[in-house]
Structure 1
Amino acid sequence: MLRNAISSARIFQLISVRDPPPPSAGFPKVTQRLPTKYGGVYTVTLIPGDGIGHEITESVKDIFEHVNAPIEWEQYNVSGMSSRARTSSSRLWRVCDATGYHTFLSGILFTPISQSGHISWNVAMRQQLDIYASVVLCKSLPGFSTRHSNVDFAIIRENTEGEYSGLEHQSYPGVVESLKVSTRAKAERISRFAFDFALKNNRKKVTCVHKANIMKLGDGLFLNTFRRVAEEYKTTGIEFNDMIVDNTSMQLVSRPTQFDVMVMPNLYGAIVSNIGAALVGGPGIVPGCNVGRDYALFEPGCRHVASDIMGTNRANPAAMILSATMMLRHLGLDHLANNIASATFNVINAGQVRTADMGGAATTSEFTTAVIKNLE
Structure 2
Amino acid sequence: MTLIAVLPGDGIGPEVTAEAVRVLTALDLGLTFEEAPVGGAGYDADGHPLPSATLDLARRADAVLFGAVGDTRYDGLERRLRPEQAILGLRAALGLFANLRPARLFKGLEDASTLKREVAERIDMVIIRELNGDVYFGEKGIRPTADGRRQGYDVMAYAEDEVRRIAHVGFRTAQGRKGRLCSVDKANVLETSQLWRDVVIEVAAEYPDVALSHMYVDNAAMQLVRDPGQFDVILTGNLFGDILSDQASMCAGSIGMLPSAALNDGGKGLYEPIHGSAPDIAGQGRANPCATILSAAMMLRHSLNRPEAADRIEAAVATAIAGGARTADLGGTLSTRAMADAVLAAL
**Same fold? TM cut 0.5:** yes
Asked if 1:91 corresponds to 2:53, the answer is yes
- CA deviation profile, 1:109-162 (whole Å, cap 9, x unmatched): 227655733262211211222100101001011121132211111000110110
Q: Hey, what does 1:46 align to over in structure 2?
A: 6
Q: Hey, what does 1:334 align to over in structure 2?
A: 307
Asked if 1:232 corresponds to 2:217, the answer is no
Q: Hey, what does 1:297 align to over in structure 2?
A: 270
Structure 2 CA distance for aligned equivalents of residues 162 and 87 of structure 1:
22
Asked if 1:104 corresponds to 2:64, the answer is yes
SS of 1:170's partner is: strand
CA RMSD of aligned residues (A): 1.9
Judge conservation of contact 2:182–2:231 (CA < 8 Å) in 1: yes
SS of 2:32's partner is: strand
Judge conservation of contact 1:78–1:85 (CA < 8 Å) in 2: no
Judge conservation of contact 2:14–2:67 (CA < 8 Å) in 1: yes
Question: Runs of 4 or more off by more than 6 Å in structure 1?
Answer: none
Structure 1 CA distance for aligned equivalents of residues 128 and 234 of structure 2:
6
Structure 2 CA distance for aligned equivalents of residues 61 and 89 of structure 1:
22
Judge conservation of contact 1:285–1:319 (CA < 8 Å) in 2: yes
Judge conservation of contact 1:59–1:321 (CA < 8 Å) in 2: yes
Which of 232, 236, 256 is residue 264 of structure 1 equivalent to? 236
SS of 1:68's partner is: coil
Judge conservation of contact 1:316–1:364 (CA < 8 Å) in 2: yes
Deviation at 1:262, TM superposition (A): 0.6
- CA deviation profile, 1:288-341 (whole Å, cap 9, x unmatched): 1100124311111x2321111100001110111111011112312233222222
Asked if 1:135 corresponds to 2:111, the answer is no
Deviation at 1:87, TM superposition (A): 7.1
Structure 2 CA distance for aligned equivalents of residues 244 and 368 of structure 1:
39
Which of 64, 68, 77 is residue 28 of structure 2 equivalent to? 68
User: How has the CA–CA distance of structure 1 residues 343 and 177 changed in structure 2, closer, same or farther, with 3 Å as cutoff?
Assistant: closer
User: How has the CA–CA distance of structure 1 residues 55 and 115 changed in structure 2, closer, same or farther, with 3 Å as cutoff?
Assistant: closer
Q: Hey, what does 1:254 align to over in structure 2?
A: 226
The one-letter amino acid paired with 1:121 is A
* Length, aligned pairs only: 327
Asked if 1:169 corresponds to 2:141, the answer is yes
Percentage of identical aligned residues? 29
Structure 2 CA distance for aligned equivalents of residues 335 and 239 of structure 1:
29
Deviation at 1:96, TM superposition (A): 4.7
Q: Hey, what does 1:186 align to over in structure 2?
A: 162
Q: Hey, what does 2:182 align to over in structure 1?
A: 207
Structure 2 CA distance for aligned equivalents of residues 174 and 115 of structure 1:
20
Which of 309, 322, 333 is residue 349 of structure 1 equivalent to? 322
Give the 5 Å matches for 1:118-129. 118=80, 120-129=85-94
- CA deviation profile, 1:170-207 (whole Å, cap 9, x unmatched): 221412232112110100111111001112x2232111
Q: Hey, what does 2:16 align to over in structure 1?
A: 56
SS of 2:9's partner is: coil
Structure 2 CA distance for aligned equivalents of residues 126 and 310 of structure 1:
25
Q: Hey, what does 1:116 align to over in structure 2?
A: 78
Instruction: Return 164-173 or 180-189, whichever deviates more.
Output: 164-173
- CA deviation profile, 1:25-72 (whole Å, cap 9, x unmatched): xxxxxxxxxxxxx2xxx1111101111111111111222233323210
The one-letter amino acid paired with 1:131 is L
Structure 2 CA distance for aligned equivalents of residues 270 and 169 of structure 1:
21
The one-letter amino acid paired with 1:142 is K
Deviation at 1:82, TM superposition (A): 6.2
Judge conservation of contact 2:125–2:231 (CA < 8 Å) in 1: yes
Judge conservation of contact 2:5–2:57 (CA < 8 Å) in 1: no
Structure 2 CA distance for aligned equivalents of residues 370 and 285 of structure 1:
15
Instruction: Return 305-314 or 58-67, whichever deviates more.
Output: 58-67
User: How has the CA–CA distance of structure 1 residues 169 and 140 changed in structure 2, closer, same or farther, with 3 Å as cutoff?
Assistant: same
Judge conservation of contact 1:85–1:121 (CA < 8 Å) in 2: no
The one-letter amino acid paired with 2:198 is N
Question: What residue ranges of structure 2 are gaps of 5+ in the alignment?
Answer: none
Deviation at 1:365, TM superposition (A): 1.1
User: How has the CA–CA distance of structure 1 residues 182 and 114 changed in structure 2, closer, same or farther, with 3 Å as cutoff?
Assistant: farther
- CA deviation profile, 1:59-93 (whole Å, cap 9, x unmatched): 11222233323210011121246654637532233
Structure 2 CA distance for aligned equivalents of residues 114 and 167 of structure 1:
21
User: How has the CA–CA distance of structure 1 residues 176 and 260 changed in structure 2, closer, same or farther, with 3 Å as cutoff?
Assistant: same
Which of 220, 243, 249 is residue 277 of structure 1 equivalent to? 249
Structure 2 CA distance for aligned equivalents of residues 210 and 63 of structure 1:
38
Structure 2 CA distance for aligned equivalents of residues 325 and 163 of structure 1:
30
